[in-house]
Amino acid sequence: MEVQRLRILSVGAHPHDLMHAAGTCGVHTRLGDTVTWVSVTNGAFTHNEDLADELLKPPAQRDPAIVNQTQEQYAAMKEQELRTAAALFGVTDVRVLPFLDRPFRLKNHPEAIDMLRDIILETRPDVLIPGYAHLSRHHRLNTGLPDDHNEAAYAALEARTAAQIPRYGTSEQIHKIAATYYPGLYYEKDQYDFIVDVSDWFEQIVEAELMFKSQGHTPAYARRRIEVELGQVGWFSGTLYGEPFLFERPALVSKITVPASMLRQAREGSKKHISRISGQLPDKPD
Ligand SMILES: [Zn+2]
């Protein structure tokens, strides 16, 4: 069978949002696929926990090194963290667009669409992972109010459309993205369409989570967060750790295909299953 080489474009509102599909990106770069990460904002106003802690204190008790850090310095730190985290997953094409967050609103920065369109025309992805948390109860984003995550996702979707529309008077080669998948981490489990087995990537994901020191992450926090977040998705799908996704629309297939990992689960017997989801057997998805 011909090996399918994919180009994947993952877009987040803030640098850390790229983590929601990071293990999956690792799976794909290891297979020889190409992955680009784009953060629509530099995240300067998101999760500066050190500063938030200092500003809870009376002015005389604050640490000047933290309080005097500029937003540019904090954003630069965050971008470096993102690049280091990306490298753990074999992702070397990382871009941070020059927009401020909290709030990022597309109506104020419609040029974000053209910037993302240019990236699409340059990288020519087959798969778009636009972020998108509008149904999230966890983040209380299903209020109908605008939010950085929704707005960044809309920008990516608008750019996707713009990239496939010819522009008059140019010689640009247009591009159509084959499939769009939304990261499912903040959706309800019964909304997941598929789960990528990222058990082999658990340690890298924990390590990447720890890279985000700008957000106050500690080793205990990083491990616990991934154990709980990706562990419960793994548990739901009969493996150790998983990243869930939603289809944008039903997939067109030429026939029913059952993934080898699901056939294996059906045939392995309970004792082996229990050992495997306890991490006591090498867990090799197809
Ligand atoms: Zn975010």
> 169 C-alpha to center of ligand 1: Å?
38
- Report the C-alpha gap between 241 and 201 in whole angstroms: 9
> 45 C-alpha to center of ligand 1: Å?
10
Least confident of 98-112, 212-226, 236-250, 268-282: 268-282
- Which among 90, 180, 71, 190 has a CA at the least distance from the CA of 126? 180
Establish if 264 belongs to a structural domain.
yes
Please state the rounded mean pLDDT for residues 18-36.
97
217 and 87 in a common domain: yes
Please state the rounded mean pLDDT for residues 220-244.
96
Could you tell me the residue range of the domain that residue 44 belongs to? 7-252
- Which among 154, 100, 112 has a CA at the least distance from the CA of 132? 154
Of 44 and 10, the structure prediction assigns the larger pLDDT to 10
> 17 C-alpha to center of ligand 1: Å?
5
171 and 95 in a common domain: yes
Give the pLDDT confidence score for residue 147 in this predicted structure: 84
Give the pLDDT confidence score for residue 257 in this predicted structure: 94
> 151 C-alpha to center of ligand 1: Å?
11
269 and 224 in a common domain: no
The answer on pLDDT for 286 being more than 90 is: no
**Distance of alpha carbon 209 from its chain centroid, rounded?**
12
260 and 165 in a common domain: no
Give the pLDDT confidence score for residue 215 in this predicted structure: 86
> 74 C-alpha to center of ligand 1: Å?
16
> 3 C-alpha to center of ligand 1: Å?
34
Establish if 111 belongs to a structural domain.
yes
147 and 78 in a common domain: yes
The number of domains in the chain is: 2
278 and 195 in a common domain: no
**Structure confidence at residue 45 as a pLDDT band (50, 70, 90):** confident
Please state the rounded mean pLDDT for residues 69-80.
91
**Distance of alpha carbon 167 from its chain centroid, rounded?**
30
Q: Are strands 179-183 and 93-99 parallel, antiparallel or unpaired?
A: unpaired
Give the pLDDT confidence score for residue 284 in this predicted structure: 58
Whole-number mean pLDDT of the chain? 91
- Report the C-alpha gap between 185 and 131 in whole angstroms: 10
Concatenate the DSSP letters of all residues of the chain into one string: -PPPP-EEEEEESSGGGGGGGHHHHHHHHHTT-EEEEEEEE--TTS--HHHHHHTTS-GGGS-HHHHT--HHHHHHHHHHHHHHHHHHTT--EEEEEEE--SS--TTT-THHHHHHHHHHHHH--SEEE----TT-TTTT-TTS---HHHHHHHHHHHHHHHHTS--TT--PPP---SEEEEE-TTS-GGG--EEEE-GGGHHHHHHHHHH-GGGT--HHHHHHHHHHHHHHHHHHHTSS-EEEEEESSPPP-SS----HHHHHHHHS-HHHHHHHHTT-S-----
**Structure confidence at residue 44 as a pLDDT band (50, 70, 90):** confident
Give the model confidence (pLDDT) of 188-216 as tens digits. 888 899 999 999 999 999 999 999 988 88
> 268 C-alpha to center of ligand 1: Å?
39
**Structure confidence at residue 3 as a pLDDT band (50, 70, 90):** confident
CATH assignment at residue 24: 3.40.50.10320
> 140 C-alpha to center of ligand 1: Å?
13
> 238 C-alpha to center of ligand 1: Å?
28
Give the pLDDT confidence score for residue 142 in this predicted structure: 52
Establish if 66 belongs to a structural domain.
yes
279 and 137 in a common domain: no
> 272 C-alpha to center of ligand 1: Å?
38
Please state the rounded mean pLDDT for residues 229-246.
95
**Rounded to whole angstroms, what are the CA distances from 235 to 190, 193, 197, 199, 239?**
14, 16, 11, 11, 6
243 and 121 in a common domain: yes
241 and 152 in a common domain: yes
Residue keyed to tokens 């983040």: 139
- Report the C-alpha gap between 202 and 53 in whole angstroms: 30
> 18 C-alpha to center of ligand 1: Å?
9
Give the pLDDT confidence score for residue 9 in this predicted structure: 98
Establish if 279 belongs to a structural domain.
yes
- Which among 258, 225, 204 has a CA at the least distance from the CA of 84? 204
Establish if 2 belongs to a structural domain.
no
- Report the C-alpha gap between 244 and 246 in whole angstroms: 7
Give the model confidence (pLDDT) of 107-146 as tens digits. 999 999 999 999 999 999 999 999 875 554 454 445 566 7
> 116 C-alpha to center of ligand 1: Å?
18
> 269 C-alpha to center of ligand 1: Å?
41
Give the pLDDT confidence score for residue 150 in this predicted structure: 87
Q: How many CB atoms lie within 10 A of CB 102?
A: 14
271 and 207 in a common domain: no
Establish if 1 belongs to a structural domain.
no
134 and 265 in a common domain: no
Establish if 121 belongs to a structural domain.
yes
27 and 58 in a common domain: yes
Say if residues 8 and 28 touch (Cβ distance below 8 Å).
yes
> 149 C-alpha to center of ligand 1: Å?
6
The answer on pLDDT for 98 being more than 70 is: yes
Please state the rounded mean pLDDT for residues 169-196.
92
> 276: number of CA atoms within 13 Å, CB side?
22
> 137 C-alpha to center of ligand 1: Å?
15
